[in-house]
A and B are shown apart, each in its own frame.
Chain A
């Protein structure tokens, strides 16, 4: 009997007839995952409760949770993630709406581009922003040429707004994918019947399209929130002094200060936040129909 025997038993009873229970075959990949993922996860938790001298302690939490650095980072992370997500939802909805319902010859190319964008590294956008809006960027040259100023007038890149704009740019495709999938499943007869009943475009969007898009908006939005909460590349590359987020704190503590315990405390908070959000996301996706789950897997 080969390892493959029960793997393909689409129905469990058939596998049981062969004498080998179906769950046996799950053990191998699960064991690998346990060693490379769940074992390290456990150590993050254990390290976060390790005080001076290696004894179990709550002191690291007390110290970290009361520090202004952590509190600032937590608030800033949530703020940046929420504003970015709102931006992504607004921009993604408008763009997906036009691609789907006001089609133009290049619409397919646009959809393909959206798909490709998902596979790019996020720091690409941060790098581009420094060339475009950075102190030595194109727009500052233009602004200085026009106004005759000697100092670069555009400096939002080095504030949280720079990070938010970069994240909106990078994560909007993650909202557009499920929206485009949802819109493509919308029966065009609904729109036609609505307009034959006298509804104008805005009413059709509000009363016919939006209700159908709500599950996709929720799913895309919560995925976006999760990813922006954990975003590291964009914040690191922009490198603004005042814009410290939770992943940046983890990186700073563990790599720059060699304080693993402090890093682990922040990591526990960050992981709890994002796993909670992920649970919400899965719940929303399962409610909106599993078929769309694959649309947002990237």
Chain B
């Protein structure tokens, strides 16, 4: 084993004198960089993270209403558990990690209530998995699909509340939403809505009706020609001017409209690429069998188009998650916005680097899990093996 590494290093890193020099040179700097990084990590105080964890995760969301966020997570992990039971094998490792992470987090120094919730997240996944496998049987697919579809509006209802200032689910105004919660809500909304809108724009661009076609082309090209930040400012500053005085739209909604429109235009082009990549013979087979246009599209064409563009879609999705950080510019307190706010607190003024690093870690975990999940989905959709 040890000699194998030596032989490999000899062949690849020290095979010529100049490679040897480069290797030594680079390893010197790498070691130095890593060493000083590690030194820094252990020398600074990280107390800023636990002290502000609630802010980073949920912003100014009322503490006595936090159970609603936990409840969303519990329902989500239960649905995830059902979904695991449907996926093909080869994901046991991932599932195990997903189940163990909350349990491990629970062993850290959180409050008793948080620990209880975290443990419940693990339990919910296991219960979901078991009930998907042994209780629901053939209906698990339908339960999971319907569950996920209802889940998104459910998030809104739970976070926003509907019973007015008092009652079971009191209204929590959007200016109190913040941190990871806000970033996630915007990400999920923009991923779903921009995909749907992009799909319609892509279909519109292929339409035989000239008005629809040129309208779609116009929308796509105009939006693609404008930077996202400009669209956000347009929504923030110009949109209120264009609306009648008695109609006001919240900042969050205006920001989301900008993000969704922007990504829909790119999504439309991705989907169009998928349509072009699909052989014309699939349409012919569908028409020859007397499927109407709608059936051909939904049953035969779209599933193949979407499968083919999963890598591109996922690329866009991770881009969207990161792009949500731009909304901090118009004053919304998402992950980036809240960390700026924390750094502005005199008590933590010198700790902004730690917050930034922690933030990067959160974004990395989010985007990395999206791309990992998509690989699994892609593999499970491979029909040739």
A and B part of one assembly: no
Q: What is B's interface to A at a CB cutoff of 8 Å?
A: none
Q: What is A's interface to B at a CB cutoff of 8 Å?
A: none
